[in-house]
A and B are shown apart, each in its own frame.
Chain A
């Protein structure tokens, strides 16, 4: 008890007494029973000076029905909170009738549960039942003690604890004793403890007492007031359990609305004050999902291993359609047929030179032709391959060609003995070939599921050979802003995009696209890469790098997208599909005012046709 953090300050008791005296009833009424008097003296030995009068008052008030009803309603309420399991349907009815104050309190629930056992020792008559607890027969006193025992440790434990759950008892020394004297002693102890204690619960108690006082004032006319001592006792109890007597804990009963969506607290704690979606401006950028333009491409060979579409730095698109190569000028929109092959062969690949002046054409026969587009004349034919040339790539004056045999030749187009290197690595048809923009490395992919990375200075053997793909590798693309980053995409059985560090040979990232990857193109302006898909999606997907988030998926064609190429300004993607159409997509539209940080190989000059020629062909 000494550790009580909650206690009733002295003034509260004074308040009680003043109330009592204000009502003109002094606690000096002689007790009708000697026993209680002795009790009073008994208790007066203990430190609380207020205990004895309380006893006497109680006794004198026995006849005062309403007062006891009132008291007991208070009391029962506090008791019932602790001893909620008790129930007594009988007694509470009488009480409710007897005490209008009880109704004022609006705590009939409490009364209903509380009184029965607490006053169980009393006779069945309601009046005497009310008397019962106050008369301090051993049984009742026990109950009080019980209550006291239950309350006091709670007070010690914590202020404002729920009374309902307070089963803990640590006042062992008092509990077993059932005599009135002992009970009063306990009470006196409790009271004195309150007196001694700090004023932590002062306000609770004060409010409680004040409420009691108010009640008294209201009731004086109709019936006698409850004995202040009892009130003091009850307030002590109430204080002890940290609950003010006339305080109710009310809960707002309706259930709160359900959360509208799952919550991730981690993101919440890092949330900027501005709306979060402002952060992902890159994600939010509007990607035009409708094609800018659609052209017919009749006779386009539906062959994954060919490369029949290319867009020059001079803003011209070359496409191989069966035996012919057509050139479509993006500026003027005019189409011209550049060449038509012999009847026994077909166009298997087209590739513009870096300056956009010449186009290399690979044929099914293994022949490679170089055409001057402006003049519309063939400059030379280069023989060497005896199988179809499915892919080609320019590095200044070097034209690399990959053939069905798995061989890759480098041709120096300036000299008569054009074949300057033979790159042996693939054992099956080469269908992907891409020079790095600085010409230092070459990546090739083949039907043998192999990706070979070559160092331009030593072409005797590939620098790295990557066997991660499980299908033919046609899609190859070098990152424009990170020279040693290569993206490769596998065929229908593989469906993955792998990202390689070509300096170390390490695989840095992977995406499972869910469908055949037919081509890959990095954006020049965004940290994004676009992939075109074959079966089953036939779509274009734009991926963020390095987050690998799919920003948008465009259902591009009705059948598999075979080829793709970027416009020289990097904003537009052209795709050719087996549905014999050529579509133009403005998927990398430049943000106004933001200069393109990375210029693509061959120079991004927009629609400028005045590119200085980087190579000369003899």
Chain B
């Protein structure tokens, strides 16, 4: 039992680091999407070196503060393992229609192991504790490998502007959604929402990356041209 505890401790620590990494990934993703999709003017962005790339990050104070507010809460949720999806929805200002939806699915490997351990702690539940293969964390990766995976996602996001329909530039706004556990603490700024799906949207699955604790899948859906 104590050994198990130790294990979970180890898990916790690496989980924290992994959460941080993923929250950071989200932050850069939001910035990249805002830049690439022209939600804000290009002049408002400055390049910073990250993941071995020149990442464009907003330098507009208002947008910066807005993203920071989102990120501060996201960090908490991530560390608590409360988030299963992060979604950036680009909406037309005129029609209010959702025109593009960037979805990042987060899988937490630990959750499964936590659950199974709980199961085994209960009597006569063993039969039902089915091994959780398929969601087993992959072999440990070096940070370098993870960074390369992230890098290729950002390259893909950047490249995706070639096939995504041209947005009505300057006439779009964005929203951030999270799929959080129901028992998460929800601050005032966050409220329940629908999924803001694109109706009859085309979906393109982009690359994924994974850490020892998380796996992040990227999916963009967009409105098909009429």
Contact = CB atoms under 8 A, between A and B. Distances in A.
Contacts of B179: 160, 244, 247-250
Interface string A589-613: 0000000000000000000000000
B194 A249 contact: yes
Nearest to B87: A249
Nearest to A264: B169
A252 B70 contact: yes
B125 A18 contact: yes
B115 A263 contact: no
Contact of B190 (A210, A214, A247, A250): A250
B151 interface: no
B200 to A, nearest CB: 11
A204 interface: yes
B224 interface: no
B43 interface: yes
B112 A252 contact: no
Interface stretch (A253-261, A499-507, A544-552): A253-261
Contacts, number: 198
A254 B178 CA distance: 14
Nearest to A270: B42
A253 B40 contact: no
A210 B115 contact: yes
Interface string B127-144: 111111011000000000
Interface in B159-205: 161, 166-167, 169-170, 173-184, 186, 189-197
A96 B86 CA distance: 30
A204 B84 contact: yes
Given A11-B128, A246-B181, A247-B180, A254 B115 contact: no
B61 to A, nearest CB: 9
B130 A207 contact: no
Interface residues of B, number: 67
Interface string A151-178: 0000000101111110000000000000
A162 B195 contact: yes
Given A265-B38, A269-B161, A253 B190 contact: yes
Given A106-B182, A107-B182, A276-B43, A256 B63 contact: yes
Given A18-B119, A248-B180, A252-B70, A161 B60 contact: no
B60 A260 contact: yes
Interface string A172-208: 0000000000000000000000000001001110110
A162 B38 contact: no
Contacts of A92: none
A11 B130 contact: yes
Contacts of B148: none
B193 A251 contact: yes
A106 B126 CA distance: 32
Contacts of A246: 181-183
Contact of A273 (B47, B119, B125, B186): B47
Contacts of A165: 194, 197
A269 B122 CA distance: 58
Contacts of A13: 128
A344 interface: no
Contact of A248 (B39, B40, B47, B192): B192
A255 B173 contact: yes
Contact of A15 (B39, B115, B182, B183): B115
Contacts of A271: 42
Interface in A1-32: 9-11, 13-19, 21-22
A375 interface: no
A105 interface: yes
Classify chain A: how many residues form its interface, as a range: 35 or more
B177 A245 contact: no
Contacts of B192: 109, 248-251
A14 B116 CA distance: 11
Contact of B169 (A252, A258, A265): A265
A263 B40 contact: yes
A106 B166 CA distance: 40
Contacts of B119: 15, 18
B63 A247 contact: no
Contacts of A276: 42-43
Contacts of B40: 259-260, 263
A333 interface: no
B5 interface: no
A104 interface: yes
A410 interface: no
Contacts of B182: 105-107, 211, 245-248
Interface string B105-130: 00100011011001100111111111
Contacts of A280: none
Contacts of B24: none
A267 interface: yes
Interface in A257-307: 257-265, 267-269, 271, 273, 276
A213 interface: yes
B107 A203 contact: yes
Contact of A267 (B42, B66, B176, B178): B42
B38 A263 contact: yes
B85 interface: yes
A271 B69 CA distance: 29
Given A14-B127, A203-B84, A162 B194 contact: yes
B80 interface: no
Contacts of A249: 177-179, 192-195
A47 to B, nearest CB: 18
B190 A251 contact: yes
Contacts of A256: 39, 63, 66, 173-175
Nearest to B195: A162
A360 B42 CA distance: 57
B27 to A, nearest CB: 13
A107 to B, nearest CB: 6
Contact of A262 (B123, B125, B170, B183): B170
Given A213-B118, A246-B183, A263-B38, A257 B128 contact: no
B63 A263 contact: no
Contacts of A22: 122-125
Contacts of A163: 194
Nearest to A267: B42
B44 interface: yes
Contacts of B132: 11, 206
7 contacts: A104-B183, A160-B103, A163-B194, A206-B132, A247-B84, A247-B180, A248-B192
Given A161-B195, A254-B66, A271-B42, 5 more contacts: A210-B118, A213-B115, A257-B62, A258-B173, A269-B161
Q: Which 9 A-B pairs have the closest CB atoms?
A: A14-B128, A18-B125, A11-B130, A22-B122, A251-B193, A246-B182, A257-B62, A162-B195, A263-B170
